């Protein structure tokens, strides 16, 4: 009865959903790829997986794609004869995943509209579907289950902010959750929460966080110098980075930078909006603040960037390289109630980080970063200037925080192996 009602409702929701996706794509100047979302995948692309058993991994956006990388590498090593297909929901996620050499094909995930789901599954015929973090689509899960295709939730999490909403609508989610072959959750709290929403306890397992398994190492002097040259940054400048920033954060960071410049002349700020289509908006803030800037897409230019300037990044897929050349990194989405972003990315490169109070989406990671002494948390935007000042002044403190971040990564890995054991049981 639930699925009949759900599909009846989906008929009425289809038009507004399509309109929203068209608006989102056009406003972000990206092709909408509606055909793929309805299950029509070009034959030329399908040739990359034809006549091979398919492992399908779905990662919604950038964060999930990066977290999936260790698992993709392990899958490629364990199952070399399988085709690995990666699907995404967002354009930035697709751009990130498309650069992974482990995958054979990238597509957009279909709308949870029954004809679209059936057409996609008929076309791809995967042996297993691995869904990153928390994506629960009733039609997709039911159709895969009815065809005997195991569906595994990997790196699952239920954030503080989303738990109440999931619990309120548990009558909706439990129908799909009951059809998952395994639910691999990051923490015991995540296990308890998804069971409360309706997941079967006997198929819910704590496997740890795949994000701790991203490669980690400290770049040597020559590697760092070559990366700086790629971005037209002189080697003698101390680089501050503001990563994955959201509306409401950039102005605070620009103001902080302006306060620091009179005391520390050899600084350069790399400003990376979470959504690159906001680059024009952020450029307007820089212009009104009287700060000279260059866009990433304008590099390499005739001249190298100068001290006191800003490199405004209007591209995707370069975050880890940019972290690698940073001396201090602010991790965005944390000064505004967005839930924060992944502190493990700077930690994995031995870079000291600063972050704000809003870390509900990365609660466990934020606690570990503070416990290991790998970063600094500020209570409000007013704390940014002093925290940056302290880290700019002391190269030894930056070194210690960076080394602590690398130790955090060494001590907390292993989730990939636990996921692979479970995948091997059901594949």
Per annotation, catalytic residue among 36, 45, 64, 309:
64
Candidates 68, 64, 44, 37; CA nearest to 55 is 68
Confirm whether 396 is a catalytic residue.
no
Whether the pLDDT of residue 132 is over 90: the answer is: yes
pLDDT at 332: 97
Going by pLDDT thresholds of 50, 70 and 90, the confidence category of residue 251 is: very high
pLDDT per position as a tens digit, 160-202: 888 999 999 898 899 999 999 999 999 999 999 999 999 999 9
Q: Rounded CA gap, 156 and 400, in Å?
A: 32
What are the domain boundaries of the chain? 36-209+414-426, 221-411
d(CA 142, CA 402): 46
Return the CATH architecture of domain 36-209+414-426.
3-Layer(aba) Sandwich (3.40)
Q: In CATH, which of 3.30.1230.10, 3.40.228.10, 3.40.50.2000, 3.30.1300.10 is domain 221-411? A: 3.40.50.2000
Closest C-alpha to 153, from 127, 171, 179? 179
Compute the distance between CA of residue 1 and CA of residue 246 in angstroms, rounded to an integer. Answer: 42
For 45, the token pair is: 């692309």
Q: What are phi and psi of 139, to 5 degrees?
A: -65, -45
Average pLDDT on 20-33 reads: 71
- pLDDT value at position 261? 96
Instruction: State the pLDDT at residue 161.
Output: 82
């Amino acid at each position: 009865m639930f699925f009949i009602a759900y599909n009846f409702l989906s008929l009425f929701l289809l038009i507004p959903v399509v309109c929203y996706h068209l608006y989102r794509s056009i406003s972000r100047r990206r092709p909408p790829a509606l055909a793929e979302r309805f299950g029509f995948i070009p034959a030329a692309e399908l040739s990359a997986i034809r006549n091979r058993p398919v492992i399908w991994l779905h990662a919604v956006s950038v964060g999930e794609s990066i977290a999936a990388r260790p698992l993709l590498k392990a899958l490629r090593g364990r199952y070399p004869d399988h085709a690995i297909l990666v699907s995404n929901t967002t354009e930035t996620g697709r751009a990130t995943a498309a650069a992974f050499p482990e995958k054979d094909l990238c597509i957009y995930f279909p709308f949870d509209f029954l004809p679209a789901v059936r057409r996609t599954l008929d076309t791809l015929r995967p042996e297993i579907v691995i869904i990153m973090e928390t994506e629960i689509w009733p039609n997709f899960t039911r159709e895969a289950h009815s065809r005997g295709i195991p569906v595994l939730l990997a790196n699952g999490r239920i954030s503080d902010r989303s738990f109440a909403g999931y619990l309120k609508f548990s009558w909706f989610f439990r129908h799909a959750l009951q059809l998952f072959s395994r639910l691999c959750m990051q923490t015991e709290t995540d296990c308890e929460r998804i069971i409360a929403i309706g997941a079967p306890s006997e198929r819910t397992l704590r496997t740890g966080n795949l994000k701790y398994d991203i490669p980690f190492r400290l770049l040597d002097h020559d590697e760092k110098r070559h990366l700086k040259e790629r971005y037209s940054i002189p080697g003698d400048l101390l680089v501050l980075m503001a990563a994955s920033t959201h509306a409401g954060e950039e102005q605070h960071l620009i103001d902080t930078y302006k306060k620091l410049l009179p005391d520390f002349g050899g600084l350069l700020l790399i400003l990376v909006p979470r959504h690159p289509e906001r680059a024009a908006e952020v450029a307007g803030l820089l212009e009104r603040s009287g700060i000279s800037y260059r866009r990433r897409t304008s590099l390499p230019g005739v001249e190298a960037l100068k001290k006191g300037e800003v490199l405004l990044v209007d591209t995707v897929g370069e975050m880890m390289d940019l972290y690698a050349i940073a001396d201090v990194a602010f991790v965005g989405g944390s000064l505004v109630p967005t839930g924060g972003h992944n502190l493990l990315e700077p930690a994995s490169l031995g870079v000291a980080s600063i972050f704000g109070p809003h870390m509900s989406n990365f609660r466990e990671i934020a606690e570990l970063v503070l416990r290991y002494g790998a970063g600094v948390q500020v209570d409000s935007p007013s704390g940014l200037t002093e925290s940056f000042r302290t880290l700019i002044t002391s190269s030894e403190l930056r070194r210690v925080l960076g080394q602590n971040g690398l130790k955090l990564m060494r001590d907390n890995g292993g989730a990939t192996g636990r996921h692979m054991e479970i995948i091997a049981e059901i594949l």
